[in-house]
Amino acid sequence: MLLRALISLWRRTGYLPLSWLHTIGRMLGLLYDWIPNRERHVAQVNLELCFPELTWQERKTMRRRVLQQIGCSLMELPYVWFRPMDQVSGLVQEVSDASLMQREPGQGLILLLPHLGCWEILGLTLPSDEKVTSLYRPPREPLFEDLVKGARERNGATLVPTDTQGVKQIYQALRAGSVTCILPDQEPKHSRASLFAPFFGTPALTMLLVNRLARKTGAKVIYAHAERLPSGRGYHIHFNPAPDGVSDADPQVAATALNRGLEKVILQHPEQYQWSYRRYNEQPEGSDSPYH
C-alpha cells in the first residue's frame, strides 16, 4: 500500500518543470554523497578503477557530481515517461550526427544506449517511421512492470522478454530492417553469452549479443546518448559510430571493441554516466569483486 502511494506521488512529480526536477535531483545527489550508502561506495570504487590519474580530491568532486546526475535521472523519469509525447520530444534541443542512422535498404540498426545522460528519452524520440523492437527485463517489483512497459512502448516500440524467444524476435526484426536498442554496459547474467574484456583498463564481463546480432543479420551498429543540458533546458542527442571490431569473427576482439567504443562515448560526458552500477562485480577466476 505504501509503495503504491509512493509510486503515485513520484508519478505526479512529472507535472513539475524539468528545471525543478533536476534541482530536486541534484539535492538528492548531495544527500547521497553525504550519507554512506551502497551507491556512493560503488561509484567511488569505479572512479578509482577508471580514473587512477585523478587525485583523491578530484575523484571525490567527480563522485559528488555523478551522484547529483543520478538524482536527476531519477527525478526526470516521470516527466519523460508520462508527459504527452509532444512535450517529451520538445525536450530535444539538438541532435548531432543523426545521419549515422541511415543505412542500406532493408538493413537493420542496432542502437547501443549506455547508461549515460537520459537514455530513457532516446527510444521515445526516434523517428516515427522507425520500427523499434527491444529486449526488456521486467523489474523485480510487479507494481512497476505495467508502468515501465507502458511508458516505453507508448511511441510504438515493441518490448520482448530477455529470453530465447525474445532474442529470436530481435533477430527477425533486424533482418526485416527494424531498429533494436541495447544497453551494452550491463553485466550479462549468462556466462555462455559473455566474456571478460577490458573496460577502462579493468576486466569486465561483456556481452556477446551485439556481436552475434551484427554478424548474423548484417545490421549496422552505432552508439547513442542524450546529454543532459544545464538548467533543465532539455537534452542534446549524440550519435557515434561503433568501432569496426564489434562485428569481428573473434569474440574477444569484438568485446574489446565494444568496450572501447563505450569508453570513447562515456568520456564525452563522464559525470553523466551511471558509475553507481557494479560493472566489475564478476571478475576472472581467482579475483575478488572490488566492491567487497
What's the pTM value of the predicted model, to 2 decimals? 0.93
Grid cell 560493472 is found at 279
First to last CA, the chain: 34
User: What is the distance between the alpha carbons of residues 206 and 259, in angstroms, rounded to a whole number?
Assistant: 8
Of the chain, the percentage scoring pLDDT greater than 70 comes to: 99
Confidence of residue 1 (pLDDT cuts 50, 70, 90): low
Grid cell 518490448 is found at 159
Whether the CB-CB separation of 79 and 21 falls below 8 Å is answered with yes
User: What is the distance between the alpha carbons of residues 225 and 110, in angstroms, rounded to a whole number?
Assistant: 13
Q: What was the pLDDT predicted at 191?
A: 66
Where are the domains positioned within the chain? 85-272
Grid cell 561506495 is found at 41
Nearest CA to 79 among 66, 91, 92? 91
Query: Residue 290 — φ and ψ, nearest 5°?
Result: -70, -10
Q: Given a cut of 90, is residue 131 above it in pLDDT? A: no
pLDDT (tens digit per residue) in 24-78: 999 999 999 999 999 999 999 999 999 999 999 999 999 999 999 999 999 999 9
Residue 80's Cβ-count burial label (10 Å; 0-12, 13-18, 19+) is: buried
